[in-house]
Structure 1
């Protein structure tokens, strides 16, 4: 099983709306680049769950998806966000939280944060 952050990264990359998708941290070259749209995926939950016969049977996992829309982004933002949510839901991820859009007054860059969770049932 690959780490769920990489699973989510692959799903988001398949939508082809971002210039770059990163896990854990954004590459230095993109930190001050506000023209490109960048997605950062980090782990938010990692719990063993549902014990039976003194063994855990389930892994509860959560990811935080941060979207930093480039100042040159020309697609309808809400359409992109709906596509992200539906893509992850189609792979059994559940949208647990959607934060408000934030507009950075210095860069005029819009950001959005989602939290998704997924339960992995472990085999014997």
Structure 2
């Protein structure tokens, strides 16, 4: 399963009350101007092979980016969402590799938070 699909499902299943929408790969056009909602976008960063030997590999290390686009009229502290989100990924065997600064989106002026996670998965030999 794609790492983006796994991460999207993980976030959706957590049912965060501060999150209105979760998307993977891209935000559909009809949601692009939804500045009254807090949305999460999960995208692929890279996939590397791991545990190599005998001209083969036995695991993949997948990296994803999770971007949070906060609603313009933010009525909660971003850490109220971010810390439980980080703990959720950590509890599900993802490694937190980078937490970026909060910046305004240049188009919508929404505050964004960006996080990077990796997960190694051993694959079946076959």
CA 73–65 in structure 1, closer or farther in 2 if over 3 Å, else same: same
CA deviation map 1:42-69 (0-9, x unaligned): 0011111221222101101000000000
CA–CA distance in 1 between the matches of 2:87 and 2:15? Answer: 11
The size of the alignment, in residue pairs, is 123
Q: Give the corresponding residue for 1:116.
A: 117
CA–CA distance in 1 between the matches of 2:121 and 2:33? Answer: 36
1:6 lines up with 2:5 in the alignment: yes
RMSD, matched Cα: 1.6
Task: Give yes or no for contact 2:23–2:40 (8 Å, CA) kept in 1.
Answer: yes
1:96 lines up with 2:97 in the alignment: yes
CA 24–106 in structure 1, closer or farther in 2 if over 3 Å, else same: closer
Q: Give the corresponding residue for 1:15.
A: 15
Unaligned runs of 5+ in 2: none
Runs of 4+ in 1 over 6 A off after TM superposition: none
Task: Give yes or no for contact 2:33–2:108 (8 Å, CA) kept in 1.
Answer: no
Unaligned runs of 5+ in 1: none
Once the two structures are TM-superposed, the CA of residue 76 in structure 1 deviates from its matched residue by 2.3
CA–CA distance in 2 between the matches of 1:65 and 1:110? Answer: 14
* TM-score between both structures, scaled by the size of structure 1: 0.90
CA 60–105 in structure 1, closer or farther in 2 if over 3 Å, else same: closer
Q: Give the corresponding residue for 2:27.
A: 26
